[in-house]
Structure 1
Amino acid sequence: MAMAGKAREAGVPLMKLVRLRGLPILQQLHLEERLLRTSSDNWCLINDGTSSAAIVMGLSGKLSELIEVKPVLRDHIPIIRRFTGGGTVVVDHGTIFVTLICNKDAVPHVQPFPRSIMSWSGQLYSEVFEGHADFRLRENDYVFGDRKFGGNAQSITKHRWVHHTSFLWDYEGKNMAYLKLPAKAPKYRLTRDHMDFVCRMKEYLPRSEFIERTIKAIETQFSVKSISMESIDVPSVSEYVHTTRLLTEQEIREACTLQS
């Protein structure tokens, strides 16, 4: 509490940092949603990989239009519909997740609107990648040159917002075959398939260095306090109804029928 007081006295907002390793992505998304809706603190969650492969869809995405359903059923890949918008991504142990949850007045000049938040986040990550690659924010994606390595999604409430990113530090090429070319692809993608459209961050900087540089960039705008997941004081899963959920096999099979 003393640190929080000093941060406020100095006019710098406090941000609680939770570093995770291999937390299943469904658990991470449930935690994010609880923190957004039931906490009044600013948070940064960094999850270094998830325990096993999964497909994560945006809140309004249509399964039959975004995913090759037959191979997903064949390989028993779980599909999660998250509480935020954005596109569809395959995640696994090679994905690094960074989530920023902020009160709307926590960051000067950032308005609680998607474009303002994206612009701010693009500037934040330009510090992270400075001197390492041709980093840019293009149509809500993080890219090196014209190849995507980070996909973003957001949710904005009356007083707070969340901005979360799946960073492709590495990926398995075969997993990209689960994704269809979306009808609303960004213009810079042209008609490139997934393998030509995305790239691996590991070709540009080490995994641990990316995480440390991200924390340092956040420390330029917040007073950062590291805490453990166990010490987070928010309602438990049993006390909070989540929007994020695992799709049932029946829902996936119905989408498979639409594709047939």
Structure 2
Amino acid sequence: MVVCITEIEGFTAALRNKYVSEAGFDVFAAIKSQGITLTLHVGDDRQCRGVVTLASGGIEFSGPENIRNDALYWLVYLFGASLLYTSEYVKHIEIVSDVVSIIFCDAKKTDEVDVRKNLHEFAIGLLMPKHQILSAVRYLADQHEVKWRGHGIIYLDYERYNYDTYITLVSEIAVLFQVSGQRVADRLKELGVLNDVRFPQPSYWSQFLTESEIEGPRRVSLEIECDSDLDNELDEFDDDDY
């Protein structure tokens, strides 16, 4: 049973290198290579369902005819469960849309937070490896003449230009890696590539917000009583040093 993040990274890198081509990562070939039975059902494009039973190692999945975007992410998520865990620890995992239910064996319950984290790391490691994502960002940033201004490769605030740049880069990366824009945005944040300073965050990754749409004050001031020592320290503070 593989549960270490470093091991997961090495495992996903080896799998991806073996089953990736110009058309993208072939998840079906990877699943078949591990001796896992995959039963596919063409269902609603807006909702995917899946379940993996650890005792049998089989995956049953219902989704759109063309498995990509979030459907691809969840299929790989279940694939990871069948490889990383055994029936001694986990009975089965079920997914309905974005809701994941994990049934553990009573005798050896594993930390559910760790299981979810490991399966997420497996999915993004297989679909959006760190080095490939960073290479794609650098290439696309160069192609679209994105300038480095010290705030992050992709800087997102309330300026329309920054928003348009963000949408362009995330959308192209999503097509390249066959995942949803939301997954790409989350991955870029994890890697420190996307610096989204909007507050509060929009409910959907591609939503545009202007400062006029933000409720309440953006900045607040506090009046505090300072002792003489603190007053002296503040007087000595020099903005030029920072």
Length-normalised TM-score, structure 1: 0.25
Q: Whose RCO is larger (CA < 8 A, sep 6+)?
A: 1
Length-normalised TM-score, structure 2: 0.27
Comparing both structures, which one devotes a greater share of its residues to helix?
Answer: 2
